[in-house]
C-alpha cells in the first residue's frame, strides 16, 4: 500500500507539473481543482457500485448453497428409505420364482398348442411340398416350406428362452424337422437351375423366372427379420441367413463365365482362324444376352436389383478375364492383331457394346479396358518384333523370287504404257499396305510405328536390291549370251526404282499423320538416293552393254580405213538406235538421263578416237577430207540423238558442236591462223588440256614442235562456269611413244 501511495503521489506531482508549466496557468488552478474533484467523485461512485454488486452476488450464492445443502439431505433420507424397502422385498421376489417359471412354461405350451397341428402334420406337409417341387409349383412349395420353418423356429425360440443351454431338446426339434432342410436344398436346386437358364427361361416362360425372384425376395425378408431378432435375443434358427440373393448373383456370374469359356473351338490346333471364330461367337452371344437382359430380364426383377447393370458388369468382368487369358498365350502376330482389334475397337463399336439398342444404359466411354495397358504394350512389343522378322523374311523371299525371273528366256511383263517391270514393287507394297491397314484398325500410334518399320526395312532392302543388281551385271559380263533377256530385265530393274519412289510417296501420303514426321524425312531422302543410284548404275550397265558392242566400230574411227570410206559411224548409229528401241521401255525420268548419257559418251568416244593419234594427215587434202567426214558424222550423231530425244526436251545440239569445232581446227589451211582457231576452241571448251591440244595438232600433221609449244604456252586458259558440261575432263592421252619406251 505504501508503494502504491508513493506511485500515486509521484503521478500526481508529474501531472500537476504538466498543468502548471506557464505562469498564466496559475489562474486556472481552481478550475483544475474542481475538474479533478469531479473525476475523483465519479471514480469513487463507480467503485462503490461495483463493490455493492459483488456483495449482492455473494449473498445470492450463499443462499443457493444453503438450499442445495437442504436438498442433498432430503435425497440422502429418501435413498435410505429405498434401501430399506429393497431389502424387505428380496424375500418377496424369491417367492415369485415359481410364478416366473410357470409363465415361461405357459408361453412354450401356448406355442406348442398353436403349432400342434403343424407339428403332427409335418411328414404330410413334407410329402406335399416335395410333390409341388417336382411338379414345378415352386411358389406353393415355398409357402408350405415357410410354414414348416416358422413352426420349427417358434418352437426352438421358446426352448431357447426357457433354457438356452438345453441342447438335447434343441436337437430333438431339429431332428424332427430334419426333412425340411432337405426340402429347402431341393427347392434351392430348382431355383438355381432356373437362374442358370434365365436367358432362355425369360423368353419361353417369364412367369417362372418371376416366381423364382419372388421366392428369393421372401427369403431375403426372413433373413433380415431373423438377423434383427438375433440382435435382440441372441437366437437365430439353423440355416439362417440363407443369402439366396447373393447365391443367385454368384450363379449368374458363374453362368456368364462358363458360357464365354464354352465358345472356344476344339479345332484350335488345325484351324488358323480359331481366334477369329472364337471372338465372333463371343461378340454375338454377349450382344444377344445383353439385349435379352435389357428388354426382358429387367422386367422380371425388382428395380433395386438393377439386374441389367449387374449383368453388364458380369459380362465385362468375364470378358476381361478371358481376354487376359488369351493375351497370356503364345499368340502369332496376326492373332495379336485380331485380339487387340477386338479389344480396342470391336468391343466398343456399334457391333457390340455401342449397339444403339443398348443405349443409353451402356455408355462405352465409361467401360473399363478389357486388358491392362501394360499387357497391351507387351503384346504390341511382341507384335512389332514378330512383324520385323516377318517383313525381313517376306522381303528376302520377294527378292529371291524376282531374281529367278531375271534369268528367264522370256521378256518381263509391261505395264499399260509399255514399260518393262517386274512384280517386286507390287508385292512389296501390297505387303506393306496390308500390314498398315491392320495396324490402323488398332491405333494411330501403332500405324505410325509400322509405317516407320516398313520404311526402315525398305531402306535395308534397297541396299540388298542394289547389290543383287550389281551381281546380275557381273554374272552377265562373264558370259554376255546369258541371260538371254539381260537388257530387258535391267530395264525392268530401272523402272522398278521409279515405281518404288511413287509407291513410297503414295504410302506416306496415305498413312502419315503429318507431312513429314521426324525420323522419316531422312529415311525418305536416303531411299531416294539409293533408288537413284540403282537406276543410274542400271543405266550405266546398259550403256556399257551398248559400247561393248560398239567397241570394234569405235576402234575404226580416225584410222586409214576410216579415211578411205569406213561405215563405222553408220553401224554405230544403227546399233545405238537398235538398243534404244528397247530403251524406249524405260520410264521417262531415267530414259531422259539415259539418252543424255548415251549422247555424251558417243561424242566423248569419238573425240577420244580423234585425240588418240591413230592417224596423222599428210597434206591439206587429207585434212580437208577428214574434217568434212567429221562434220558429216557429227551431223549423223546430231540427227540420231535428236530423234532419240524427241519429246524429252533434251538439248541435242551442243555436244556434237565440239566435233565440228575440232574439225574446223583440222580443216584450217593457213597455219598462221592456227593459234586463233585453237584459242576459239579453248574458249568454248575450257576443260580441254594441253595434251589434248598437242594431240590435235599432231593429227594435223603440219605443226612443228616449236609451233605446238608456242600455241600451248600462249593460250589463255579459263575456269569453266558451273553449268558447263565437261567433255574433255575424262579423256586421257597416252604420253609414252615407242621411241621413248625403247629409250
Q: What is the pLDDT of residues 453-511, one digit of tens each?
A: 999 999 999 999 999 999 999 999 888 888 889 999 999 999 999 999 999 888 888 88
Place of cell 422380371: 300
pLDDT at position 734 over 90: no
pLDDT of residue 366: 87
Q: What is the 3-state secondary structure (H, E, C) of 13-29?
A: HHHHHHHCCCHHHHHHH
Q: Rounded distance, CA 626 to CA 617, Å?
A: 8
pLDDT of residue 8: 83
Instruction: Write out the three cell numbers for 640.
Output: 540420231
pLDDT at position 671 over 70: yes
Exposure letters 2-26 (e unless 16+ CB within 10 A, then b): eeeeeeeeeeeeeeeeeeeeeeeee
- Per DSSP, the three-state class of 420 is strand
Instruction: Write out the three cell numbers for 620.
Output: 591439206
Phi, psi of 330 (to 5 degrees): -85, 85
Q: Rounded distance, CA 172 to CA 178, Å?
A: 10
81-132 pLDDT per residue, tens: 888 888 777 766 666 667 777 776 677 667 666 655 556 666 777 787 778 8
pLDDT of residue 112: 63
pLDDT of residue 648: 57
Would you say the pTM of this structure is higher than 0.85?
no
pLDDT at position 514 over 70: no
Distance of CA 108 to the CA centre of its chain: 75
The residue among 342, 302, 305 whose CA lies nearest residue 322 is: 342
pLDDT at position 25 over 80: no
Cα 388–Cα 393–Cα 394 angle in degrees, nearest 5: 95
Using a pLDDT cut of 90, give the percent of the chain over it: 26
pLDDT at position 269 over 60: no
Q: Within 13 Å of residue 111, how many CA atoms lie on the same side as its CB?
A: 18
pLDDT of residue 742: 41
586-626 pLDDT per residue, tens: 988 888 888 889 999 999 999 999 998 888 888 888 889 99
Higher pLDDT, 231 or 164: 231
pLDDT of residue 740: 44
Confidence grade of residue 738 (pLDDT, cut at 50, 70, 90): very low
Helix (H) or strand (E) holding 280: helix 274-292
Using a pLDDT cut of 70, give the percent of the chain over it: 89
Q: DSSP labels for 510-575?
A: HH-SSSS-TTHHHHHHHHHHHHHHHHHHHHHHHHHHHHHHHHHHHTTTTSHHHHTT--HHHHHHHH
Among 28-37, 311-320, 455-464, which stretch is predicted with the lowest mean pLDDT? 28-37
Residue 498 CB-density burial (10 A; 0-12 exposed, 13-18 middle, 19+ buried): buried
Confidence grade of residue 314 (pLDDT, cut at 50, 70, 90): very high
Amino acid at each position: 500500500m505504501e508503494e502504491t501511495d508513493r506511485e500515486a503521489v509521484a503521478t500526481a506531482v508529474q501531472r500537476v507539473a504538466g498543468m502548471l508549466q506557464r505562469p498564466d496557468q496559475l489562474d486556472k488552478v481552481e478550475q483544475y481543482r474542481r475538474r479533478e474533484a469531479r473525476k475523483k467523485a465519479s471514480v469513487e461512485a463507480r467503485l462503490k457500485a461495483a463493490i455493492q454488486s459483488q456483495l449482492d452476488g455473494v449473498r445470492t450464492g450463499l443462499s443457493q448453497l444453503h438450499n442445495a445443502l437442504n436438498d442433498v439431505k432430503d435425497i440422502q433420507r429418501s435413498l435410505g428409505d429405498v434401501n430399506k424397502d429393497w431389502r424387505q422385498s428380496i424375500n418377496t421376489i424369491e417367492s415369485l420364482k415359481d410364478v416366473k417359471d410357470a409363465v415361461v412354461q405357459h408361453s412354450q405350451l401356448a406355442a406348442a398348442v398353436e403349432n400342434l397341428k403343424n407339428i403332427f402334420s409335418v411328414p404330410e406337409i413334407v410329402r406335399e411340398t416335395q410333390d409341388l417341387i417336382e411338379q414345378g409349383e415352386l411358389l406353393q412349395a415355398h409357402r408350405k416350406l415357410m410354414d414348416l420353418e416358422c413352426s420349427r423356429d417358434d418352437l426352438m425360440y421358446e426352448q431357447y428362452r426357457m433354457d438356452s443351454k438345453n441342447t438335447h431338446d434343441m436337437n430333438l426339434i431339429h431332428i424332427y424337422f430334419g426333412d425340411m432342410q432337405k426340402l429347402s436344398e431341393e427347392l434351392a436346386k430348382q431355383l438355381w437351375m432356373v437362374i442358370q437358364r434365365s436367358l432362355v427361361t425369360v423368353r419361353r416362360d417369364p412367369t417362372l423366372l418371376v416366381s423364382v425372384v419372388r421366392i428369393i425376395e421372401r427369403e431375403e425378408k426372413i433373413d433380415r427379420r431373423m438377423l434383427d431378432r438375433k440382435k435382440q435375443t441372441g437366437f437365430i434358427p439353423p440355416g439362417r441367413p440363407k443369402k439366396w440373393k447373393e447365391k443367385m448373383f454368384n450363379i449368374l456370374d458363374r453362368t456368364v463365365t462358363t458360357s464365354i469359356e464354352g465358345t472356344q473351338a476344339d479345332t484350335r490346333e488345325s484351324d488358323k482362324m480359331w481366334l477369329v471364330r472364337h471372338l465372333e461367337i463371343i461378340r454375338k452371344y454377349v450382344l444377344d444376352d445383353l439385349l435379352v437382359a435389357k428388354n426382358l430380364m429387367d422386367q422380371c426383377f425388382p428395380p433395386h436389383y438393377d439386374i441389367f447393370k449387374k449383368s453388364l458388369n458380369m459380362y465385362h468382368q468375364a470378358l476381361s478375364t478371358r481376354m487376359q487369358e488369351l493375351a497370356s498365350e503364345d499368340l502369332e502376330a496376326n492373332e495379336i492383331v485380331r485380339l487387340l482389334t477386338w479389344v480396342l475397337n470391336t468391343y466398343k463399336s456399334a457391333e457390340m457394346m455401342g449397339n444403339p439398342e443398348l443405349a443409353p444404359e451402356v455408355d462405352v466411354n465409361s467401360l473399363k479396358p478389357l486388358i491392362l495397358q501394360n499387357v497391351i504394350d507387351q503384346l504390341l512389343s511382341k507384335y512389332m518384333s514378330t512383324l520385323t522378322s516377318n517383313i525381313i523374311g517376306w522381303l528376302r523371299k520377294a527378292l529371291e523370287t524376282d531374281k529367278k525371273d531375271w534369268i528367264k528366256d522370256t521378256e518381263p511383263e509391261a505395264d499399260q504404257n509399255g514399260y518393262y517391270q517386274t512384280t517386286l514393287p507390287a508385292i512389296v507394297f501390297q505387303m506393306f499396305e496390308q500390314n498398315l491397314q491392320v495396324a490402323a484398325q488398332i491405333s494411330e500410334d501403332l500405324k505410325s510405328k509400322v509405317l516407320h518399320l516398313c520404311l526402315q526395312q525398305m531402306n535395308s532392302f534397297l541396299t540388298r536390291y542394289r547389290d543383287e543388281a550389281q551381281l546380275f551385271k557381273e554374272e552377265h559380263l562373264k558370259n554376255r549370251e546369258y541371260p538371254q533377256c539381260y537388257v530387258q530385265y535391267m530395264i525392268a530393274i530401272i523402272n522398278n526404282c521409279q515405281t518404288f519412289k511413287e509407291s513410297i510417296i503414295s504410302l506416306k501420303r496415305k498413312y502419315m499423320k503429318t507431312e513429314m514426321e521426324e525420323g522419316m524425312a531422312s529415311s525418305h531422302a536416303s531411299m531416294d538416293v539409293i533408288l537413284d543410284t540403282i537406276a543410274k548404275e542400271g543405266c550405266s550397265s546398259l550403256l556399257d552393254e551398248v559400247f561393248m558392242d560398239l567397241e570394234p566400230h569405235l576402234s575404226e574411227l580416225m584410222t586409214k580405213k576410216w579415211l578411205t570410206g569406213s561405215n563405222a559411224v553408220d553401224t554405230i548409229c544403227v546399233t545405238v538406235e537398235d538398243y534404244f528401241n528397247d530403251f524406249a521401255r524405260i520410264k521417262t525420268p531415267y530414259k531422259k538421263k539415259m539418252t543424255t548419257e548415251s549422247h555424251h559418251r558417243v561424242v566423248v568416244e569419238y573425240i577420244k578416237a580423234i585425240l588418240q593419234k591413230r592417224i596423222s594427215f599428210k597434206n591439206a587434202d587429207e585434212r580437208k577430207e577428214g574434217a568434212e567426214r567429221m562434220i558429216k558424222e557429227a551431223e549423223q550423231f546430231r540427227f540420231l540423238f535428236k530423234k532419240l530425244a524427241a519429246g524429252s526436251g533434251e538439248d541435242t545440239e551442243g555436244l556434237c558442236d565440239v566435233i565440228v569445232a575440232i574439225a574446223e581446227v583440222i580443216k584450217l589451211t593457213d597455219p598462221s591462223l592456227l593459234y586463233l582457231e585453237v584459242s576459239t576452241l579453248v574458249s568454248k571448251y575450257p576443260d580441254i588440256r594441253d595434251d589434248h591440244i598437242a594431240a590435235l595438232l599432231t593429227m594435223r600433221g603440219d605443226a612443228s614442235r616449236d609451233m605446238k609449244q608456242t600455241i600451248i604456252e600462249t593460250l589463255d586458259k579459263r575456269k569453266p562456269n558451273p553449268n558447263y558440261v565437261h567433255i574433255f575432263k575424262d579423256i586421257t592421252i597416252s604420253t609414252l611413244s615407242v621411241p621413248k619406251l625403247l629409250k
